[in-house]
Amino acid sequence: MKLEVSGLNSFYGQAHILFDVDFAVGEGEVVALLGRNGAGKSTSFRSVVGLVGQRTGKVMFEGEDVSRLPTYDIVRRGLGYVPEDRRIFTELTVEENFVVGRQAPRSGVATWTPERIYELFPNLGEMRRRPGGHMSGGEQQMLTIGRTLMGNPSLVLLDEPSEGLAPKIVEQMADAIMAMKREGLSIIISEQNLHFAKLISDRAYIIEKGRIRFSGTMADLEANPEIRDAYLAV
């Protein structure tokens, strides 16, 4: 397994948010973490990269326990993180945003350059000098993914990449994620949008109120509409 999370419990202050959450991503797999608003998807991802202060449990990345490491160290090992709400650097140009994300090439993993990212997201190539604050939501979403790719990750956590995007851009996003998969990247996305998840994922987990309620292939999920209806907004 590329990433193996087990027994994750997370807290914000006194509030217990995640309860014994387990999930895993295999080499080259695309996995979806599905759940409604406030189910705990973002908290799961933030916990994996060490951004949630109070958490217990084990996070194994490429066979090593990274749960006690600081965020930057986890990320440098090749675990890329794309936050929800994008968080691009609005004062920095597209190129400069890439500079922040840049890390040394990693052996056995695709190496990304700005040029290759412009191939993936042609829109970005047309606005290399534009400050991040002056871009549309879709372009910002592309930028935040590209910025993380600049770190040459072997696995990417994508937090709701389709959120708030026009249908056309969502399609483009799905294509890009498939292209990333073809590069050999392992990917886990969090989603509320089942339709989008179906386009790209091999497997899915469903999280609700901080607990994993379902785990299986997309086909399993298709075959059990009652699960979908119980835990996801459709």
Partner 1 sequence: MEFLLVQALSGLASAASLFLVASGLSIIFGVMRIVNFAHGAFYMLGAYVAFTLTDRFAGPLGFWGGVLVASLVVAAVGALMEMVLLRRIYHAPELFQLLATFGVTLMVEDLVVLIWGSEDLMGPRAPGFTGAVSVFGRLVPSYDFLLIALGPLVLGLLWLLFHRTRWGVLVRAATQDREMVASLGVNQKWLFTSVFALGVFLAAFGGALQIPRTTVSHAMDLSIIVEVFVVVVIGGLGSVTGAFVAAILVSELNAFGILILPQISMITVFLVMAVVLVVRPYGLFGKPEGAPRAAAGISIRPWRPMTNLERSGVAAVVVVVALMPLFAGDYTLSVGSEILVYVLFAASLHFLMTVGGLSSFGHAAYFGLGAYGAALLVKYFGAPMEAALVIGPVLGLVGAVLFGWFCVRLSGVYFAMLTLAFAQITWSVAFQWVEVTGGDNGILGIWPSSWASTPQGFFWLALAIVVVCVAALRMLVFSPFGFGLRAARDSALRSEAIGINGKSTQWIAFIVAGTFAGIAGALFAFLKGSVFPETLGIPTSVDGLVMVLLGGIETVSGAVVGAVVYKALAIWLMSKTELSKLVLGGVIVLLVVAFPKGIVGFLEDLRHRRPKAPGGAGSEGAVDVAKVEAAR
Ligand X SMILES: Nc1ncnc2c1ncn2[C@@H]1O[C@H](COP(=O)(O)OP(=O)(O)OP(=O)(O)O)[C@@H](O)[C@H]1O
**Closest Cα to residue 157, out of 2, 8, 22?**
2
By CB under 8 A, is residue 87 in contact with partner 1?
Answer: yes
By CB under 8 A, is residue 209 in contact with partner 1?
Answer: no
Cβ 82 vs Cβ 159: under 8 Å? yes
By CB under 8 A, is residue 100 in contact with partner 1?
Answer: yes
Q: 165 is in the binding site of which of ligand X, Mg ion, partner 1, none (Cβ under 5 to 8 A by kind)?
A: none
Q: Which is nearer to ligand X, 121 or 205 (CB)?
A: 205
- With CB under 6 A as the contact rule, the residue among 8, 21, 30, 41 that binds ligand X is 41
The token pair at 42 is 């973002």
By CB under 8 A, is residue 140 in contact with partner 1?
Answer: no
Contact pattern for ligand X over residues 55 through 94, marking x by CB under 6 A: -----------------------------x----------
By CB under 6 A, is residue 172 in contact with ligand X?
Answer: no
In this structure, the number of other CB atoms found within 10 A of the CB of residue 99 comes to: 13
Which residues, other chains included, contact 95 with Cβ-Cβ below 8 Å and sequence gap of 6+?
Answer: 114, 128, 129
Q: 203 is in the binding site of which of Mg ion, ligand X, partner 1, none (Cβ under 5 to 8 A by kind)?
A: none
* Residue 10: Cβ-neighbour burial (10 angstroms; 0-12, 13-18, 19+): buried
Q: 73 is in the binding site of which of ligand X, Mg ion, partner 1, none (Cβ under 5 to 8 A by kind)?
A: partner 1
- With CB under 8 A as the contact rule, the residue among 76, 106, 130, 181 that binds partner 1 is 76
Alpha-helix runs per DSSP H in the chain: 41-48, 71-76, 94-101, 114-120, 122-125, 137-149, 167-182, 194-200, 218-223, 225-231
11 beta partners: 16, 54
The token pair at 224 is 């059990």
Q: How many residues bind partner 1 (CB under 8 A)?
A: 35
In this structure, the number of other CB atoms found within 10 A of the CB of residue 1 comes to: 14
- With CB under 5 A as the contact rule, the residue among 10, 42, 67, 140 that binds Mg ion is 42
CA distance 126 to 194: 32
Stretch that binds ligand X, among 31-39, 105-113, 127-135, 136-144 (CB under 6 A): 31-39
By CB under 6 A, is residue 149 in contact with ligand X?
Answer: no
By CB under 5 A, is residue 192 in contact with Mg ion?
Answer: no
Q: Which is nearer to partner 1, 142 or 199 (CB)?
A: 142
